[in-house]
Structure 1
Amino acid sequence: MKTECLQYFKNPYYWAVIGLGLAARAGLTYLDFRYRSPQFWELAADFWNKTGSITMGFLILLVMIRRFSYDMELRTFPIINSTAYGRLPLFWNRLIGGEVAVVAAVLLLYAGNTGISCLLGSKMGMSYDWTGFFTQATVAAFAGSAGYFALSAMICDLSKNHPVAMCLCGLPFASSYFINVDAVKPPDLFWFLRYGFFTELLRGRTIGSFPVFWSVWYAALIGLTFFFVIQKRKERKEL
């Protein structure tokens, strides 16, 4: 697991995406400081709603899940699969290592946004509960990022095709940003697109619309996807 975990951190694109996300946040923070100073800390606390969640979405889809189709792309899959380590243990190690890298990325973005906001907003009065509010949003982003990575990684493992997995996981993720929460009514299609694919949690929000249902939905979604992964691996003789 340590080896697979290090592979994520050694990937220069992992750091490039995080760096670009924080650079974008620094630019937006400066604009907020110059032109929207009364809402400065409110906008800083809303980091996960746009910049943070988009950064994590790109990081997971463009960089991290590629590990699950990497062997097929390099045509080393038959060699890897011929060893005991190249079967289910490798899948578990990549999945756990990826979750560690997801946690590290969320922490880095949390620390980066806090540092940038405090640096530029040091002369503005920070509200007493800002840190608590932002931390609470970050906990939701943790849960959303971990779930979204697990689901996307398993779909990539099923398809063994990174572009296909990006499209299948990216379209419902992106569509949530264009759906007005006030315009959706359960249980229509837009309601499912808004809440059904971890995007709401990734945006640092707890789900207020039927939270128990969505807890069961997320557990079932990941559980069923894992079931299909195991079944597909049995067909490929990868267990």
Structure 2
Amino acid sequence: MTQELRRLWSAPFPWLLILGPTALNGALALFQRRYGPERYWSFVGQFWDKLGLVAVAALVLTACLSLMDQDRSCRTEALMFTARLGRKHLFLHRLLACALVVFLFALLLSGGNLLCGLALSRGLPVPEHWAARYLGHTLLAGAGGALLALAACGLCEIFRSLPVAFILVAVVLLFSALAPELKEEPLGLYVLANGFFAKLIRGRALTGWASYSPPWGREWWFWGPWHLCLTALCVWRAIRKRKERNQW
């Protein structure tokens, strides 16, 4: 797995995804500090609501899916299948590497945003309990990103096609991110809007999908197990497909 981790971190794209959103959010924070200092820390804390979500999704859809499809794109798949145990270990190691990289990526991204916010605050006091909420959102974003990476990699293996997995994950994630807060809509639309990782990565599970104030909203107790089961289903189906193709 060490080799897979090096392969993911050695590419410049993850580092650009850390620097780009952090710098952009810093530029926006300058305007917030000048024209609305009373909402400055609220703005910094909502980093995961937009730029953070986009950065995590971009990493999953590019680096993680490319790693899972590397053998097919490099035409070395037949060689890997000659190792009876190696192909199984390689698949599992790549899954774990993708999940770990996304989680660490979220921590680095959040740390960069926090340092940038502190540097630009110019002495503005940090509100009480702000740091605890920000840490909670960061950990949930990292966990949600890791689950998304596992599910996306599983879909890539199920369909044996990077473009299909890319389009499927991107479309569902985009709808989930752009959909408004749905309360009394049809059940299918409500599940599609809330049940596909976007609001988990935003940290909404910490306070319920609809707010950022009270601790641990009631909806979390349904959507948390839902995301775990959805991810497990994708990975289990990918393993089942590999066994059917005699690739396990």
Counterpart Cα distance in 2 of 1:154 and 1:122: 46
Identity level (%)? 27
Residues 192-207 of structure 1 aligned to structure 2 (within 5 Å):
192-206=191-205, 207=208
Counterpart Cα distance in 2 of 1:81 and 1:176: 37
* Misfit runs of 4+, over 6 Å: none
Cα deviation digits, residues 50-88 of structure 1 (max 9, x gap): 111111111111222211111111111111222235411
* Partner amino acid, structure 1, of 2:195: G
Q: Is the contact between residue 103 and residue 143 of structure 2 (CA under 8 Å) also seen in structure 1?
A: no
Determine if the alignment matches structure 1 residue 61 to structure 2 residue 61.
Answer: yes
Q: Is the contact between residue 176 and residue 193 of structure 1 (CA under 8 Å) also seen in structure 2?
A: yes
SS of equivalent to 1:20 = helix
Residue aligning to 1:106:
106
Determine if the alignment matches structure 1 residue 230 to structure 2 residue 229.
Answer: no
Task: Supply the RMSD in Å over aligned alpha carbons.
Answer: 1.7
Counterpart Cα distance in 2 of 1:136 and 1:7: 29
Structure 2 gaps of 5+ residues are 209-216
TM-score, normalised to structure 1, is 0.92
Residue aligning to 2:222:
213
What is the count of residue pairs matched by the alignment?
Answer: 238
* Partner amino acid, structure 1, of 2:143: A
Residue aligning to 2:88:
88
Residue aligning to 2:32:
32
Cα deviation digits, residues 209-239 of structure 1 (max 9, x gap): 6433323322321222222112210122111
Counterpart Cα distance in 2 of 1:48 and 1:231: 34
Higher relative contact order (CA 8 A, sep 6+): 1
Q: Is the contact between residue 144 and residue 198 of structure 1 (CA under 8 Å) also seen in structure 2?
A: yes
Cα deviation digits, residues 122-147 of structure 1 (max 9, x gap): 32222122211111111211221111
* Partner amino acid, structure 2, of 1:63: A
